[in-house]
Amino acid sequence: MATHASASVPQRTRLPRAERERLVLDVAHARFAAHGYAAVTMEDVAADAGVTKPLIYAYFGNKERLYLACMERAGEALFATVGAAVSAADSPADALRRGLHAFFAFVDEDRDAWRVLFDETLPAGGEIAERVAEYRERLLALVAQTNLDRLPPQHRAAAKTEVEATSVALLGAAEALARWWLRTGAMPAAGAADLLIATAEPGLRARMAAGAGSTRTADAPTAVRGGGDVAPESEGAR
């Protein structure tokens, strides 16, 4: 009995543009994460995605724009993760703990996103460098503003510069530690977060306590111990 060829040969379906774009982005994201921006070509992405190179150019324009689309997904995911964590904090020290645990959990759970966002092979100038700087600045502003908002209102203006400087130092340390952790796997991600928290939290508490107890004068210095102000010793007690 004769059968039609169409009965045994599956028909290829044409994916909607949105789905093909998502497929190309997924493939490019994995490629950039695995090999770095500098080593990836549009031919690589097209071959992995099973599409033509002209189609990728039609969708994204060039490799830089394709990378920026991947980076935007990674950057927004990191920002949302850390933002959600620190929004529930009730003090700068609590924000530090929540933010660092969220940061390292993100790195652990989505390593490709981290590698795309913090790719060391990225160009030093141009739009990509500007966009990477923008995401770092947004993250820095989030951390700094979170800490400022949890200080007494009367101390915020005086503490603004120091809080920003401290936030820069913490984010730099977190990024460096994350690179080491990814390279070595020497401890759990939460352990890396705890290590940085244990290093940074005492100093943060002391600085915040010093700011809150800024009524001291040159004639009456105070020592900050255990997060509180201690009255100066009298001459007779020394």
Which structure tokens are listed for 198? 């244990």
**Residue 205's CATH number:** 1.10.357.10
Instruction: Please give the model's pTM, rounded to 2 decimal places.
Output: 0.75
pLDDT at 223: 37
CB 67 within 8 A of CB 119: no
Is 238 inside any structural domain? no
Q: What was the pLDDT predicted at 210?
A: 65
pLDDT of 11 over the 50 cut: no
| pLDDT tier, 125 (very low <50, low <70, confident <90, very high otherwise) | confident
Residue 182: is its pLDDT beyond 80? yes
Asked if residue 199 is part of any domain, the answer here is yes
Residue 63 lies in a domain: no
Domain total of the chain: 1
The answer to whether position 36 is within a domain reads no
> Residue 135's closest CA among 73, 193, 190?
73
Q: Is residue 97 part of a domain?
A: yes
| Positive/negative CA dihedral, 213, 217, 220, 224 | positive
| Higher pLDDT, residue 64 or 227 | 64
* pLDDT at position 213: 53
- The rounded distance, in Å, linking the Cα atoms of 192 and 199 is 11
Q: What is the pLDDT of residue 212?
A: 55
218-227 pLDDT, tens per residue? 333 333 333 4
For 196, other C-beta atoms within 10 Å of its C-beta total: 20
Whether residue 233 has pLDDT greater than 60 = no
Whether 99 is covered by a domain: the verdict is yes
**Residue 7 belongs to a domain:** no
> Which ranges constitute the DSSP H helices of 87-152?
92-109, 111-117, 126-149
- Domain of 137 in residue numbering reads as 70-212
The pLDDT score that the predictor gives to residue 56 is 94
CA 102 – CA 95 distance, rounded (Å): 10
Structural domain contains residue 106: yes
Q: Identify which has the larger pLDDT, 103 or 118.
A: 103
